[in-house]
A and B are shown apart, each in its own frame.
Chain A
Amino acid sequence: MKALETLDIHLKNRALELLRLREQGQKIVGYYPGGYVPEEIILACGAVPVGLHRGGEHEPVLIAGAYLPRWYDTFIRSQIGFKVLGGDAVYDLAGLFVVPITDNNVRMLADAWEFYKLGGLFRFGVPHRKTERALKYYLDSITAFKEKMEEETGTSVTDEGLSEAIHLCNRERELFRKIALMRKSRSSSLKGSDFVKLLHASLWLDKNVMVETLDSLIGELEQQIPSPGGGPAVLLTGSTLAYGDSKIITLTEEAGGAVVMEHFAEGLRNYWDDVAKDGDPLEALADSYFQRRIAPAWFRPSREYRDFIIKLAQEFSVDGVIWYSLMYRDSYTVQSTLVPKLIREATGLSTLVIESDYDMEEVGPLRTRVETFIEMIKRKQGCSTRLF
């Protein structure tokens, strides 16, 4: 698809573009993905938001071993590794790293980043329960973040500027939702890996470029003649699916499965809901980014998270669910012993739990497990056909 080819070009050029923007005096602001840092605040200051979300490689994990013990989430350790290794424009150019303090792993990332002086850091406090006072706390965090950004950029955030940024980000969300929902039909020629690429790109590229790309992609998808088919539909969920961590989705597609929906920290949470355009913009951001945001596994309780996954599986009529989490991300490790069981009980679907430490040696055994899983679903489907 042409839009995807254009996207590749934009991605390739982004490093130079960021360098140019910084030379022109624009601040590059890195943030930890997970859906709790409002990009709108960064945009309203005239700065450039970039999500630090590379993963999937073993070397940064090894390098991070000098800074943190291995008992932290692989993605968390990777962020330290990529920063220390250097050579990635996004990590090198981001002068400030905004970290939403959510669970123990993310908190330790912030601690290590600050302690080893890896760059400027802003801790964005996120409560773990949805209550009125938690919302107030989150709103306070937004206000503090706005002040920090104003101090960093020397630009005051106006309601007008914020509204414009909200409008732009909402447009991107709307387009992502539209594409995501098109995947329900299973006739879309957009592969799961392509959609994930779009999600990852949205954390790096200019918002206007993203909107343009998504818009033209929708046009192309609407033009295509529906071609029903494909293998078993899979919902992919878990802790983090980083840029560069393509193993699980590639293996699934190579095994004949079709990933029709995914729910990870840096994915769906960002586009599922819009920010309200009326009322106080900061309050609207807090309402959307915290109160209405689909709670992650580290929320207490995390039932909303589990119910949502079951709902997704049902709404997208998937044939199986793959739970993909990273080593030592405790919240998700514990949930992995409960959620797949709840999914099976609620939907009768097959589930597969996979864990990764970004190690190349995992690929062989993972391929066997994923192929077996897809094969099992195919047989189950064949069996159903014969019976009914």
Chain B
Amino acid sequence: MFYSPLLKLCGWEDEQIIREKDRLDEAFNLLDLGPEEMKVAEARVLEGYDVDLLGVRKALGVWIGGMVDVVLSKREGKKLVYYSFPPLGGLSGVISVIGKGEILCVCPEFILDIALGAIFNRIDPILESGEQKALPPGRALCGLNKIRIGAITEGIIPVPDLLLSSSFYCDQGGQTDEWLREVYGIPWVVMDNVMDSPRDEFPRLASKRVSYLAAEMENGWAEAASILGCEPDEEHWAAYYKLYSKFNDGISKSNRSMKADPTPISQSNLQMVRFLRNGISYDRFPEALRAIETLVPELEERVRRGTGPLPKGSPRVCSFLIPQRDQSVAHLIEKAGIAVPVTFLSYDAYMAGMDSTCSTLSERNARVELMRGLYHSTWAVLHWTKQAVKDFELDGVLWTQPMHCRPMSGTGYLFKKAIEEELRVPVLSLEVDWYDNRIFSGESMRTKIETFGYLMAARKAKRGPFPKGD
């Protein structure tokens, strides 16, 4: 089978390849991925990822499996639910639990961005299609939404039975789903909130925002349940929490291992594993769990041996998210001798615990979503970023400022000033697109990143580790 070498490289076992052979044949045929494309993908995996780590390879394999699942879902008679990124309130997870085997609930653009983009390098035509249909080029619009529209309109992924989105964090996400609803008549469930918190509010949460979001989530669950014909009960939620908390435990352990010097893994590789939580369906989730459970001891072993992609003593920074469509920016950062042990998104994964004082499940979920910061305010994101810098005793911040993401694209300016003034560590704000590298080139950033690396190395040599100051 022409795809066996790639799948084995990505942690698939012979037995699984044989078991899924018919599905793989059909999906790769639909996606027009033949022997040549498999060779390209193999080369990209070998070049872009830490293939010495089986956990990383397995995670790549889960993304490919996830892509196969979504492409075939309708042909296999499943109901299909698409949620948008970032996901809100656990609803997507619990729908996956209820609909095990019958409902596929995924974030398709995330799956395609990694599987078809990062692994196969075949995402550009989909982005272009999204631009032609609804999200015109040159307006700094989000690549994830372009992928969603492009992939559906091109028939690469099926038209779903339900769309789930937030109406308040990202305007583009809601607009994208509404466009799809208008064009295809897809039912659409929206959950609202208002991000009107003043700067000094966080980490306090205003009760009116918690209760409004909780009520919207409650309503969203009810609407989704009535459309899908199934209602989540406490058992479903318990099953969801059980499965996903196991994954989160693994993520927490791997995040903690990043405190070691040297860091045991490149952040971009770890991020790819961590994002499995945000895109993959419940049916594929046990494999995601195996990937993280394989990775954790591998990282612990590297920490014991004191090995990693960069030498001990390399300058260490925090970022928001490493562009994942290809690994060039991540490699550029590492080649400049800069380690990224933590990102805003990885840090929040274990900082926002469940609050046992909440009276309802929806209130608890609302509190968790708001405490994570992204759904709270710009200031909450700044709060956790500063906390990460202190907690990881970092030498600086290399902020990937996304031009396409309106909730986040202003943070580069604000955070640079705030962090440099308050924490006295240097901040480099790099203007990138997290999901679309047609409009920027990693190479064009080489000088900036290398200079930043030299600067931090010199500072570190002079002042010693954080937080002694100059």
Complex formed: what's the CA distance from A365 to B335 in Å?
A: 46
Given A301-B178, A328-B139: A137 and B194 interface contact (C-beta under 8 Å): yes
**A330–B196 touching, CB < 8 Å:** no
1/0 per residue A162-178: CB within 8 Å of B? 00000000000000000
B418 at the interface (CB under 8 A from A): yes
1/0 per residue A216-259: CB within 8 Å of B? 00000000000000000000000000000000000000000000
Given A125-B194, A330-B171, A331-B171: A301 and B181 interface contact (C-beta under 8 Å): yes
B156 at the interface (CB under 8 A from A): no
4 tightest Cβ-Cβ pairs between the two chains A and B? A125-B196, A104-B406, A300-B167, A334-B175
CB distance from A69 to the nearest CB of B (A): 6
CB distance from A103 to the nearest CB of B (A): 5
**B414–A128 touching, CB < 8 Å:** no
**B134–A338 touching, CB < 8 Å:** yes
* Residues of A297-335 whose CB lies within 8 A of B: 297-298, 300-302, 327-328, 330-331, 333-335
B61 at the interface (CB under 8 A from A): no
Chain B interface residue bracket vs A: 35 or more
13 A-B pairs, CB-CB below 8 angstroms? A69-B409, A69-B413, A103-B171, A104-B170, A108-B406, A114-B198, A115-B414, A115-B418, A128-B167, A140-B208, A301-B190, A337-B136, A338-B182
Inter-chain contacts of A128 with B (CB < 8 A): 167-168, 174, 192, 194
CB distance from B126 to the nearest CB of A (A): 17
Complex formed: what's the CA distance from A125 to B208 in Å?
A: 11
CB distance from A96 to the nearest CB of B (A): 13
B90 at the interface (CB under 8 A from A): no
Inter-chain contacts of A101 with B (CB < 8 A): 194-196
Complex formed: what's the CA distance from A266 to B208 in Å?
A: 28
Inter-chain contacts of A14 with B (CB < 8 A): none
Complex formed: what's the CA distance from A114 to B175 in Å?
A: 28
Q: A72-B409, A123-B197, A301-B178 are in contact. List 8 more A-B contacts (CB 8 A).
A: A69-B413, A104-B406, A107-B195, A114-B198, A300-B192, A301-B188, A330-B139, A330-B172
Given A71-B140, A300-B190: A330 and B175 interface contact (C-beta under 8 Å): yes
Inter-chain contacts of A342 with B (CB < 8 A): 182
**A108–B410 touching, CB < 8 Å:** yes
Residues of A within 8 A of B (CB): 67-69, 71-72, 101, 103-105, 107-108, 111-112, 114-115, 123-129, 131, 133-134, 137, 140-141, 297-298, 300-302, 327-328, 330-331, 333-335, 337-338, 342
CB distance from B106 to the nearest CB of A (A): 22
Residue from A72, A300, A338 in contact with B174 in the complex, judged by beta carbons closer than 8 Å: A300
Inter-chain contacts of B182 with A (CB < 8 A): 338, 342
B407 at the interface (CB under 8 A from A): yes
Complex formed: what's the CA distance from A108 to B198 in Å?
A: 12
**B190–A111 touching, CB < 8 Å:** no
Inter-chain contacts of A133 with B (CB < 8 A): 212, 215-216
Q: Which residue of chain B lies nearest to A331 when distances are taken between CB atoms in the complex?
A: B171
**B179–A338 touching, CB < 8 Å:** yes
Residue from A71, A126, A140, A300 in contact with B409 in the complex, judged by beta carbons closer than 8 Å: A71
B403 at the interface (CB under 8 A from A): yes
Inter-chain contacts of B170 with A (CB < 8 A): 104
**B192–A134 touching, CB < 8 Å:** yes
Inter-chain contacts of B414 with A (CB < 8 A): 111-112, 115
Complex formed: what's the CA distance from A63 to B196 in Å?
A: 26
* Residues of B127-157 whose CB lies within 8 A of A: 133-136, 139-141
B176 at the interface (CB under 8 A from A): yes
**A104–B194 touching, CB < 8 Å:** no
Inter-chain contacts of A126 with B (CB < 8 A): 194, 196
CB distance from B110 to the nearest CB of A (A): 20
B431 at the interface (CB under 8 A from A): yes
Inter-chain contacts of B167 with A (CB < 8 A): 128-129, 300
**A68–B413 touching, CB < 8 Å:** yes
Inter-chain contacts of A127 with B (CB < 8 A): 168, 192-194, 212
Residue from B181, B197, B401 in contact with A69 in the complex, judged by beta carbons closer than 8 Å: B401
Complex formed: what's the CA distance from A112 to B413 in Å?
A: 9
**A67–B413 touching, CB < 8 Å:** yes
Task: Name the residue among B136, B178, B404, B407 with the largest chain A CB count within 10 angstroms.
Answer: B178
**B190–A334 touching, CB < 8 Å:** no
CB distance from B383 to the nearest CB of A (A): 14
Complex formed: what's the CA distance from A331 to B194 in Å?
A: 16
Given A125-B194, A338-B179: A298 and B171 interface contact (C-beta under 8 Å): yes
Complex formed: what's the CA distance from A123 to B418 in Å?
A: 21
B385 at the interface (CB under 8 A from A): no
Q: Which residue of chain B lies nearest to A66 when distances are taken between CB atoms in the complex?
A: B413
Inter-chain contacts of A72 with B (CB < 8 A): 406, 409-410
Q: Which residue of chain B lies nearest to A133 when distances are taken between CB atoms in the complex?
A: B215
B66 at the interface (CB under 8 A from A): no
**B196–A124 touching, CB < 8 Å:** yes
**A111–B196 touching, CB < 8 Å:** no
CB distance from B129 to the nearest CB of A (A): 13
Complex formed: what's the CA distance from A67 to B193 in Å?
A: 27
Complex formed: what's the CA distance from A44 to B234 in Å?
A: 50
**B175–A335 touching, CB < 8 Å:** yes
B199 at the interface (CB under 8 A from A): yes
**A123–B403 touching, CB < 8 Å:** no
CB distance from A64 to the nearest CB of B (A): 10
**A105–B406 touching, CB < 8 Å:** yes
Complex formed: what's the CA distance from A5 to B378 in Å?
A: 46
Complex formed: what's the CA distance from A126 to B208 in Å?
A: 13
Given A115-B414, A124-B196, A134-B192: A337 and B409 interface contact (C-beta under 8 Å): no
Residue from B135, B181, B195 in contact with A334 in the complex, judged by beta carbons closer than 8 Å: B135
Complex formed: what's the CA distance from A328 to B406 in Å?
A: 9
Task: Name the residue among B172, B199, B413 with the largest chain A CB count within 10 angstroms.
Answer: B413
CB distance from A280 to the nearest CB of B (A): 19
CB distance from B100 to the nearest CB of A (A): 30
**B192–A104 touching, CB < 8 Å:** no
Inter-chain contacts of A112 with B (CB < 8 A): 410, 413-414
B412 at the interface (CB under 8 A from A): yes
1/0 per residue B181-219: CB within 8 Å of A? 110000010101111111100000000100010011000
**A104–B178 touching, CB < 8 Å:** no
